[in-house]
Structure 1
Amino acid sequence: MRRILNLTLADLKNVRRDPMLIMAIAGPAMLTLVFRFVPPILTEWLTQKFGFDLTAYYDLILIFILQLVPLMIGMVSGYLMLDERDENLIQLFAVTPLRKSGYLFVRLAMPVLLTIMFTILLVYFTGLIQIKVVQLLPTILLLAMEAPMMALFLVSFAANKVEGLALSKGIGIIVAAPFAAYFIQWPWQIIAGISPTYWVAKMFFADSHSYENTFFLTVSLLMHGALMWYLFLTFQRRLD
């Protein structure tokens, strides 16, 4: 436990020295504050000015900002792992009592915990929609899987932090998948199905007690699990 705590404290020091990482880790908190106060004001203005009811799109707005959380948090973890890989620290951790498995646990568990915390905070502090915790659990599970996926993606395919930044910007397009699921007619929207975020959005929009919800949850779990396993194996090969 003390070794894990030491590694976590070292992470905080590394993040503190990099303004970009500070913004990425503070991003979910900023999103929470913005979407707590801005939507009601904007909704009232749009209603009075144009007769447009923004509340009809609150579920879309919510799933969009929720998808940003694991992206930002996973990016931070991925950058830290890229730094440690470039400095051969991962190999060093592998021969310490922490071992490679302990190192990987810390690197992937922390984004999971932070994503869960910020997801719950975003949903219930912003108050955009009313949803029971039981109904939210599948979404929390899938979003929590996306954070370590993002970290593994960066450390598996980026040669350094510069490439990692470019890749993180490119992969950011996947947060647009909920808009495809919401606005594009079937079957054209299925093109967005190559993104795991599409299936999460489809599940989120479906009635929680419907067969559709179960189907989309099953597909999401299978896709997230397969991608996680593939990225983990790619990361392992990159280290060897």
Structure 2
Amino acid sequence: MAKYRMLLINDLRHILKDPMLMASLLGPMAIIAFARVLFPMISEWVEQRYTFTLSTYTDFAVIFLLTIVPLLPGTMAGLLMLDERDENIIAYYAITPLARKGYLCYRLFLPSVLSILFIVLFFLLSGIAKVQVESGYALILLALEAPCIALLLASFAANKVEGLALSKVNGLLIAGPIIVAFVPEPWQVLGMWVPTFWPAKCYMAAILNEPFSALSSFSMGLVLHIFLLTWMIRSFVKRID
């Protein structure tokens, strides 16, 4: 555990020095605060001023905000991996007791754990999330998205500047919950290749008390996420060889 503790200490030092990394770490807490404090206030203001009931879309707001949560620790981990790749630090880790496998496990495990922590806090503290047993399916899939995002940046960005640009493209992943919430059922098949589609589908099925639909969505989403994670791990390993 000592070898992982040193990595964690180095990460904290980097995060404290880099505002972008700090924002990625603290961003989920800002999302929770927005859901808890600002969303009810905005809903009330919109209803009074425009007679539009924004609270009708609370379930969509929940899964939309939840989708953003793993983007942030995933981006943080990806930018750290880019720095370490550019400075050949990964090659150094490969000849230490940590080894390349241990380094990669740590880099993928950390954003997943952070995502789980922040998502659980969102469910407990946001005040707008509905918690069902099947909500755990959405949590698992969202946690798997964080290492996928990290590997996307580390594998396909040439440097940190490109990594920042690519992290903005990740914002397109919000299409998943939009498709689930607003696209009619026969056409939702078009969104099945968007990773965030499946946790959104699981959450919506859970709150509608459709356990079989939630389980089937989780199963298909799990296959897609494992495929993406495996492919990106291979791409990253090839990149650093």
TM-score by length of 2: 0.94
Whichever residue aligns with residue 186 of structure 1, its letter is E
Equivalent positions of 1:137-156 (< 5 A) are 137-156=136-155
- Could you tell me how far apart the structure 1 residues matched to 2:188 and 2:139 are? 24
5+ unaligned residues in a row in structure 2: which ranges?
none
CA drift at 1:214: 2.1
Matched, 1:193 2:192: yes
Equivalent positions of 1:154-165 (< 5 A) are 154-165=153-164
- Could you tell me how far apart the structure 1 residues matched to 2:113 and 2:99 are? 21
Give 1:225's aligned residue: 226
CA drift at 1:208: 4.5
- Could you tell me how far apart the structure 1 residues matched to 2:40 and 2:171 are? 27
Query: How large is the RMSD of aligned CA atoms in angstroms?
Result: 1.4
Deviations 1:25-77 (A, max 9, x none): 11101111121101221222233333322222111101111111111110000
Give 1:26's aligned residue: 26
CA drift at 1:93: 0.2
Q: Quick check: 2:93–2:99 contact (8 Å CA) kept in 1?
A: yes
Higher mean C-alpha deviation, range 52-61 or range 222-231: 52-61
Matched, 1:98 2:77: no
CA drift at 1:148: 0.5
- Could you tell me how far apart the structure 1 residues matched to 2:78 and 2:232 are? 12
TM-score by length of 1: 0.94
Q: Secondary structure at the residue paired with 1:169?
A: helix
Q: Quick check: 1:181–1:201 contact (8 Å CA) kept in 2?
A: yes
Give 2:62's aligned residue: 62
Give 1:131's aligned residue: 131
Higher mean C-alpha deviation, range 57-66 or range 186-195: 186-195
Q: Quick check: 1:69–1:118 contact (8 Å CA) kept in 2?
A: yes
Q: Quick check: 1:70–1:146 contact (8 Å CA) kept in 2?
A: yes
Higher mean C-alpha deviation, range 46-55 or range 158-167: 46-55
- Could you tell me how far apart the structure 1 residues matched to 2:137 and 2:184 are? 25
Q: Secondary structure at the residue paired with 1:187?
A: helix
Corresponding pairs, count: 239
Higher mean C-alpha deviation, range 122-131 or range 81-90: 122-131
Q: Quick check: 1:199–1:220 contact (8 Å CA) kept in 2?
A: yes
Runs of 4+ in 1 over 6 A off after TM superposition: none
Give 1:8's aligned residue: 8
**Aligned residues with identical type, % of pairs:** 40
CA drift at 1:130: 2.8
Whichever residue aligns with residue 196 of structure 1, its letter is P
Whichever residue aligns with residue 107 of structure 1, its letter is R
Whichever residue aligns with residue 154 of structure 2, its letter is V
Q: Secondary structure at the residue paired with 2:231?
A: helix
Q: Quick check: 1:70–1:147 contact (8 Å CA) kept in 2?
A: yes
Q: Secondary structure at the residue paired with 1:194?
A: coil
5+ unaligned residues in a row in structure 1: which ranges?
none
